[in-house]
Chains A and B, each alone.
Chain A
Amino acid sequence: MTRQMSGAKMIVQALIDQGVDTVFGYPGGAVLPIYDEVFQQNAIRHILVRHEQGAVHAAEGYARSTGKPGVVLVTSGPGATNAVTGLTDALMDSIPLIVLTGQVPTFMIGSDAFQEADTVGITRPCTKHNWLVKETDKLAGVIHEAFHVATSGRPGPVLVDIPKDVQFATGTYMPPKPSTSHYQPKLKGDMDAITELVAAIEKAKRPIFYTGGGVINSGPAASQLLRELVAATGFPITSTLMGLGSYPASGEKWIGMLGMHGLYEANMAMHDCDLMINIGARFDDRITGRLDAFSPKSIKAHIDIDPSSINKVIKTDIPIVGDVGHVLEDILKVWKSRGRKTNAEAVAKWWTQIEEWKKVDCLKFTQKGKTIKPQHALARLEALTKQYDRYICTEVGQHQMWAAQYLGFEDPNRWMTSGGLGTMGYGFPASIGVQIGHPDALVINVAGEASWLMNMQEMGTAVQYRLPVKQFILNNERLGMVRQWQELLHGERYSHSWSDALPDFVKLAEAFGAKGILCSDPADLDDAIMEMINHDGPVIFDCLVTKHENCFPMIPSGKAHNEMLLGEAETQGVIDSKGSVLV
């Protein structure tokens, strides 16, 4: 049904018709007509953040935990530029977002008007696609297409820039219909390649599944199919940071996360395997280590919906372009029809080897003395929160890696972390988005004190909407990961990597009308964590931890998977000059 209405009303109507229930945003001059329409309806809930970056990360948290696209509404100029970090973050991690920005009226574009910025120009490289809409009649069509582009193929953020006169003018509203644009990514994998992979699965002696965020982006069905395939073949499975939860951490074939701070057994198995099945991961540099030494003896299969991921860094023997869910379904179908064969004897021997590696127990630590070890804090957090309907966000740094190592994820969409861009300040607003999507769940943001301060203004949002998000801050008064690298390759010269003049986090919480908990004694930790869980409201948990703890295991830059550092042993000089230019 087409109707005449103002551009501003059209925007709200299009969002409603797209099934949007929540918008994260911040008003300003160039979006006032839209905010006026938001005011006059009840179908969409608007969450007022305290900074536009917070709006985008909150929308990311909402999108990753619900599987629905996140929607953001911000004003022109600074509103749009503040959204850039979040857009880049979402692009790197393939998170579907629709960001609506106001723009100065069309007749003022290019005149350096107040709060004017070339938003589509600035955001062109950090969105999957963007549009500047200059005619009200085209507005609804563009917004519907924006949802199509953001959510199909490899998901990503899109931006629609809407001048103020377009919002005021009247035009014809078109309801959503299936997209007829040429952008229709291919979902089904090539059957010949799939058959080739099945043949490799049947013969493999040392196979490994290497899974990534693509499994989660493909939807819950893909995770189910993955679990079925792993159970049926009995092959070991590892995952990237982005893919945690697609296979349960308690699953018997789980060998832990891989990569720079991944588990010893996972990295060794990647190095020594003879068949690597990459499902929705992208051979990121945090995963591969030194490229010429990356898994030298394996046949590599790569399933990815984005053709540009194939052969980007690692040469693939069996490329399969398609949606993970569709491809896994076909793999299972073909494998079953060919008699469910694997080289069980060789795979059993492979498992014996993996069990040997597991005995290294690379995550072991000893909690002694009067200071809480960060690993201990997370191990206790895991033990005390496991049974809850739990969602975990993180900031970026050592705490993020420890969280990935010491917390177990049983289901997809339960783990929100900035993987590709590594955005400090991501976790807190993301936890707000998660809590909005899951009002009754236990949402915890594992943070470092430095990262957390980057978006601490969102305490206002948490308190305003009574969101009981738990900010679990591992406070070492250091930029821990930066400090660790300075120790390893800059002669322990700790240049600007400490957090001076920190606030009193308990008083800070109280100043916002929230609860603050300080914990410094290992003996008090369990009680303090329980107090945090049981408090019905936002909590800042200031957990004072060892100041110079390093995150291990670690593959130093420029090294191979089988050259991991396991602990505090000789770490000086392990990164050579070639490795030190890498990040």
Chain B
Amino acid sequence: MSPLKIKKGATSHSAYNLRPTFSDVIERHTLAVLVENEPGVLARVIGLFSGRGYNIDSLTVAEVDHTGHLSRITIVTSGTPQVIEQIKAQLGRIVSVHDVHDLTVEGASVERELAMFKVVGQGDKRVEALRLADIFRANVVDSTLESFVFEITGVPDKIDAFAELMRPLGLTEVARTGVAALSRGE
């Protein structure tokens, strides 16, 4: 067990758990990639996706272990099972990549995303926005007489739903962090 609580035995270094058939079904996978925290490492990962034509639905990156010089990149990607396996193998091939974990197949995991919404409005709309924010457990982090900035944390679907509700109520700006994810349990 690494100090980062990530299970050993990365999928990227083994070809034995590959899917038996090439299916056409598009799957959405959340990958956790532990990389050496060095200049250009994000460019290596992103360049791999653009160069080989893979999708990035969401990407977050930050240093997670200062002494060990490690950053964690969480990528949500979509593709056929064959493409997903290729993405993992190709990521594992990058010299600066220490480990690749497919949180979608390696047991249960939790995903969270943080978002901020600026909603501008007056009267009933303003009251309704505040009421809905309460239902969604969003916090008000800034307020003027005519606007709110809400902060909300949750799975991407919940944030999407909140955004839909806020749109007719005067939503003017959105900032989302992208998905962060961890496997459940030990």
Inter-subunit contact A128/B95 (CB<8 Å): yes
Inter-subunit contact A307/B43 (CB<8 Å): no
In the assembled complex, the Cα of A120 lies from the Cα of B98 at a distance in Å of: 20
Check: B86 CB closer than 8 A to any chain A CB: yes
Q: Which residues of A contact B22 (CB under 8 A)?
A: 315
In the assembled complex, the Cα of A319 lies from the Cα of B19 at a distance in Å of: 12
Check: B140 CB closer than 8 A to any chain A CB: no
Q: Which residues of A contact B98 (CB under 8 A)?
A: 182
Check: A311 CB closer than 8 A to any chain B CB: yes
Check: A121 CB closer than 8 A to any chain B CB: yes
Nearest chain A CB to B168 CB, angstrom units: 45
Among listed B8-16, B120-128, B169-177, interface-contacting one:
B8-16
In the assembled complex, the Cα of A308 lies from the Cα of B82 at a distance in Å of: 11
Inter-subunit contact A315/B93 (CB<8 Å): no
Nearest chain A CB to B44 CB, angstrom units: 6
Chain A 106-145 against B: per-residue CB contact (8 Å), 1 yes, 0 no?
A: 0000000000000011001100110010000000000000
Inter-subunit contact B92/A307 (CB<8 Å): yes
Q: Which residues of B contact A321 (CB under 8 A)?
A: 14-16
Most chain B beta-carbon neighbours within 10 Å: one of A121, A182, A319: A182
Interface of chain B residues 23 through 82 with chain A (CB within 8 A)? 36, 39-40, 43-44, 47, 51, 82
Q: Which residues of A contact B36 (CB under 8 A)?
A: 182
Check: A510 CB closer than 8 A to any chain B CB: no
Q: Which residues of A contact B93 (CB under 8 A)?
A: 306-308
Check: B147 CB closer than 8 A to any chain A CB: no
Q: Which residue from chain A places its CB closest to the CB of B85 in the assembled complex?
A: A311
In the assembled complex, the Cα of A149 lies from the Cα of B90 at a distance in Å of: 16
Q: Which residue from chain A places its CB closest to the CB of B18 in the assembled complex?
A: A311
Contact of B15 among A121, A149, A319 (CB under 8 A): A319
In the assembled complex, the Cα of A311 lies from the Cα of B44 at a distance in Å of: 23
Contact of A183 among B15, B16, B89, B95 (CB under 8 A): B95
Nearest chain B CB to A133 CB, angstrom units: 11
Contact of A315 among B14, B21, B94, B95 (CB under 8 A): B21
Q: Which residue from chain B places its CB closest to the CB of A311 in the assembled complex?
A: B18
Q: Which residue from chain B places its CB closest to the CB of A308 in the assembled complex?
A: B89
Q: Which residues of B contact A186 (CB under 8 A)?
A: 13
Q: Which residue from chain B places its CB closest to the CB of A320 in the assembled complex?
A: B15
Inter-subunit contact A125/B16 (CB<8 Å): no
Q: Which residue from chain B places its CB closest to the CB of A185 in the assembled complex?
A: B13
Check: B104 CB closer than 8 A to any chain A CB: no
Nearest chain A CB to B14 CB, angstrom units: 7
Interface size band for A: 20 to 34
Check: A504 CB closer than 8 A to any chain B CB: no
In the assembled complex, the Cα of A316 lies from the Cα of B82 at a distance in Å of: 12
Inter-subunit contact A149/B13 (CB<8 Å): no
Nearest chain B CB to A137 CB, angstrom units: 16
Nearest chain B CB to A166 CB, angstrom units: 15
In the assembled complex, the Cα of A306 lies from the Cα of B14 at a distance in Å of: 10
Inter-subunit contact B95/A132 (CB<8 Å): no
Q: Which residues of B contact A307 (CB under 8 A)?
A: 12-15, 89, 92-93
In the assembled complex, the Cα of A183 lies from the Cα of B18 at a distance in Å of: 22
Q: Which residues of A contact B95 (CB under 8 A)?
A: 128-129, 149, 183
Contact of B86 among A132, A149, A312 (CB under 8 A): A312
In the assembled complex, the Cα of A321 lies from the Cα of B51 at a distance in Å of: 24
Check: B96 CB closer than 8 A to any chain A CB: yes
Q: Which residue from chain A places its CB closest to the CB of B51 in the assembled complex?
A: A125
Contact of B40 among A124, A128, A308 (CB under 8 A): A124
In the assembled complex, the Cα of A268 lies from the Cα of B82 at a distance in Å of: 28
Nearest chain A CB to B152 CB, angstrom units: 37
Check: A193 CB closer than 8 A to any chain B CB: yes
In the assembled complex, the Cα of A308 lies from the Cα of B88 at a distance in Å of: 8
Check: A430 CB closer than 8 A to any chain B CB: no
Inter-subunit contact A120/B40 (CB<8 Å): yes
Q: Which residues of A contact B51 (CB under 8 A)?
A: 125
Q: Which residues of B contact A315 (CB under 8 A)?
A: 20-22
Most chain B beta-carbon neighbours within 10 Å: one of A120, A128, A183, A193: A183
In the assembled complex, the Cα of A120 lies from the Cα of B92 at a distance in Å of: 20
In the assembled complex, the Cα of A430 lies from the Cα of B20 at a distance in Å of: 42
Inter-subunit contact A319/B86 (CB<8 Å): no
Check: A389 CB closer than 8 A to any chain B CB: no
Q: Which residue from chain A places its CB closest to the CB of B12 in the assembled complex?
A: A307
Check: A15 CB closer than 8 A to any chain B CB: no
| Given contact pairs A124-B44, A149-B95, A186-B13, A310 touches B89 in the complex (Cβ within 8 A) | yes
Contact of A308 among B20, B21, B43, B86 (CB under 8 A): B86
In the assembled complex, the Cα of A315 lies from the Cα of B18 at a distance in Å of: 10
In the assembled complex, the Cα of A311 lies from the Cα of B90 at a distance in Å of: 12
Most chain A beta-carbon neighbours within 10 Å: one of B36, B51, B93: B93
Nearest chain A CB to B122 CB, angstrom units: 48
Q: Which residues of B contact A124 (CB under 8 A)?
A: 40, 43-44, 47
Q: Which residues of B contact A128 (CB under 8 A)?
A: 95
Q: Which residues of A contact B12 (CB under 8 A)?
A: 307
Residues of B that sit less than 8 Å from A by CB: 12-16, 18, 20-22, 36, 39-40, 43-44, 47, 51, 82, 85-86, 89-90, 92-96, 98
Residues of A that sit less than 8 Å from B by CB: 120-121, 124-125, 128-129, 132, 149, 182-183, 186, 190, 193, 306-308, 310-312, 315-316, 319, 321
11 additional A-B pairs beyond A124-B43, A311-B15, beta carbons within 8 Å, are: A129-B94, A129-B95, A193-B16, A306-B89, A307-B14, A307-B93, A308-B86, A311-B82, A311-B86, A312-B89, A315-B21
7 contacts between A and B (CB under 8 A): A120-B40, A186-B13, A307-B15, A308-B86, A310-B15, A310-B18, A315-B21
Q: Report, nearest first, the 7 A-B pairs whose CB atoms are least far apart.
A: A308-B89, A129-B95, A310-B15, A319-B15, A307-B15, A307-B89, A321-B15
